[in-house]
Amino acid sequence: MTALDNYIAPTSLEQAVVQLQELGEVTILAGGTDLMPQSHAGRVKFKRTLMNIRRIPELRGIAREGDEIRIGALTTISEMMAHPLVREHLPLLVSAGDHFASDQIRNAGTVGGNICNASPAGDTLVPLMVLGASVELASKPDDTLFRRSMPLPEFFVGPGKTRLAPAELLTAVRVPIPPKGFVARFHKFGTRPALDISAISIGVAGVLKDGKFSQVRVAFGAVAPTPVCGCATEEALEGKKLDAATIAAAAKAAQDEVHPISDVRASAWYRKEMIHNMTKRILEDVSANH
Amino acid sequence: MSQQTIDFTLNGVPTRVSVPVQMSALEMIRNVAGLTGTKYGCGEGECGACTILLDGVSLNSCLLFAVECDGRQVTTVEGLADDPLGRRIEKAFVDAGAVQCGFCTPGMVVQARQLLERTPHPSREEIQRGIEGNLCRCTGYVKIIDAIEAASKE
């Protein structure tokens, strides 16, 4: 076990991925809001080098690129919530951000960090999943910068575990601009609104046209080792009219398809009940307001 | 242990310190720079007693790596004595009797500074939301909210 004995703060993406490739044993620092307490508690061990990526301009900023909004990995939750493009096209991320920890943590924590931290309860993950987001990854295995992208659900492997390769950096998350008639909801349930880790969270999105719900995406947080797609719930809703029978069937499908554990925040039984009741409530709200 | 030298502005004063890489900004401010107004409450971002401004934006200094202060402007509660809005908030806390044991007060004042800069005339609900990352173990929230409201009306 080698102790932390090196600190670097690269000032370009190129420099960062070259150093990641050469040094191998690197802990990445962005906002620090998870790394600091997790390392203090011994849940995360520092590798030999601490790389502070906050001086890399390519990882900042929010821009429209074609039919997508590109959110740089270093964007803080506060910056995301305040950005005009996000407010106009992705209001779900604004309302989800509003339930994220506290003002101080929103000012420091980054979108890329929340994704790489890969908590099953990560507050941006479920909303990003129902928005159809993908992650953009960069590395430099040889002379050329290699970039790849991956749909967000595929990125998560387990609590704190992702498909990010050791010499790879998450550079941005890309979110398609939603089509006309798009509606989306995110609900987080915990014991207090601020600074709480969700007992469960639910995201629902889709296109409502002529009373029918289509292109449905459902995701659940804190009911599995990773945020998960609610595929059976999607199927129960796809192409249907949001009437009482459809909503009841979807809520039942949601309850049946999640397999949560019991822990300090809630029992498995309670989580399944909450998934049922909250899915129902969200769908009733969508149906009543459109 | 790896040491790193950083240069930053602390309450307007150019400052250079050498710190262990994994040290928090809170430890650096209190134990290296010697400013003890910023308090250590929980050490994990739950209580807000360690709130500072980094380039004018409020953060939990216990969650911030000291090395991240390099090249930036750090403002602690001591620095608000030179700031008109900061002084107004401090006076309002005194006038309203918003201080009980006083431990949360520096963090509350710094966070109130952040809130009133962004939202100069907040509703009481906006004040509550603004300080939801700050805990008062004496539970003296009503007078704290009164004080922030009063400061916003001056």
For the cut 60, the answer to whether the pLDDT of residue B126 exceeds it is: yes
For the cut 80, the answer to whether the pLDDT of residue A197 exceeds it is: no
Please report, for the domain that includes residue A11, its CATH number. 3.30.43
Kindly determine whether residue B2 and residue A5, on different chains, have CB atoms separated by under 8 Å. Answer: yes
**Which of A47, A67, A51 is closest to A59 using CA atoms?**
A51
For the cut 70, the answer to whether the pLDDT of residue A192 exceeds it is: no
- Chain A residues inside the 8 Å CB shell of B1: 3-5
**Do both A168 and A74 map to the same domain?**
yes
- The shortest C-alpha distance from A256 to chain B (Å) reads 34
Q: Count how many domains chain A has.
A: 3
Confidence of residue A2 (pLDDT cuts 50, 70, 90): low
Name the domain boundary from A139, A155, A176.
A176
* Phi (first) and psi of residue A265, to 5 degrees: -85, -30
Kindly determine whether residue A9 and residue B1, on different chains, have CB atoms separated by under 8 Å. Answer: no
**Do both A96 and A155 map to the same domain?**
yes
Confidence of residue A249 (pLDDT cuts 50, 70, 90): very high
A117 near A160, Cβ under 8 Å?
Answer: yes
Residue B83, judged by CB atoms within 10 A of its CB (0-12, 13-18, 19+), counts as: middle
For the cut 90, the answer to whether the pLDDT of residue A228 exceeds it is: yes
A1 is a domain residue: no
Please report, for the domain that includes residue A145, its CATH number. 3.30.465.10
- Edge to edge, what strands does the sheet with A6-8 contain? A6-8, A49-52, A26-29
CA angle A279, A91, A83 (to 5 degrees): 150
**pLDDT computed for residue A121 by the predictor:** 84
Which distant-in-sequence residues (6+ apart) come within 8 Å of B87 by Cβ? B80, B81
For the cut 90, the answer to whether the pLDDT of residue A122 exceeds it is: no
B3-76 under CATH 1.10.287.1080, yes or no: no
| Mean of all residue pLDDT scores within chain A | 93
**Do both A248 and A207 map to the same domain?**
yes
**Do both A166 and A70 map to the same domain?**
yes
Of all residues in chain B, the one with the smallest CA distance to A82 is B118
For the cut 90, the answer to whether the pLDDT of residue B59 exceeds it is: yes
- Chain B residues inside the 8 Å CB shell of A4: 1-2, 21-22
Instruction: Return the exposure string of A109-142: e unless at least 16 CB atoms fall within 10 Å of the residue's CB, then b.
Output: bbbbbbbbbbbbbbbbbbbbbbbbbbbbbbbbee
Which of A3, A6, A107 is closest, CB to CB, to B59?
A107
> Percent of chain A, pLDDT > 90?
81
Kindly determine whether residue A194 and residue B133, on different chains, have CB atoms separated by under 8 Å. Answer: yes
Name the domain boundary from A176, A208, A242.
A176
Which residue would you say has higher pLDDT here, A202 or A100? A202
- Chain B residues inside the 8 Å CB shell of A82: none
Which of B46, B67, B130 is closest, CB to CB, to A7?
B67
**Do both A120 and A29 map to the same domain?**
no
**Do both A91 and A146 map to the same domain?**
yes
A73 near A171, Cβ under 8 Å?
Answer: yes
SS3 content of chain A, % helix, strand, coil (to 5): 35, 25, 35
Is residue B73 classed as helix, strand or coil in its secondary structure?
A: strand
A92 is a domain residue: yes
For the cut 60, the answer to whether the pLDDT of residue B88 exceeds it is: yes
Kindly determine whether residue B67 and residue A102, on different chains, have CB atoms separated by under 8 Å. Answer: no
Span A69-99, pLDDT tens digits: 999 999 999 999 999 999 999 999 999 998 8
Classify domain B80-153 by CATH architecture.
Orthogonal Bundle (1.10)
A283 is a domain residue: yes
Kindly give the pairing relationship between strand B57-60 and strand A49-52.
unpaired
Q: Please state the domain extents for chain B.
A: 3-76, 80-153
Q: Which domain holds residue A33?
A: 6-55
**pLDDT computed for residue A218 by the predictor:** 97
**Do both A193 and A229 map to the same domain?**
yes
Residue A40, judged by CB atoms within 10 A of its CB (0-12, 13-18, 19+), counts as: middle
pTM for the predicted model, two decimal places: 0.94
In chain B, the largest separation of any two C-alpha atoms, in whole Å, equals 50
Name the domain boundary from A176, A205, A237.
A176
For the cut 70, the answer to whether the pLDDT of residue B36 exceeds it is: yes
Q: Predicted ipTM?
A: 0.95
Confidence of residue A194 (pLDDT cuts 50, 70, 90): low
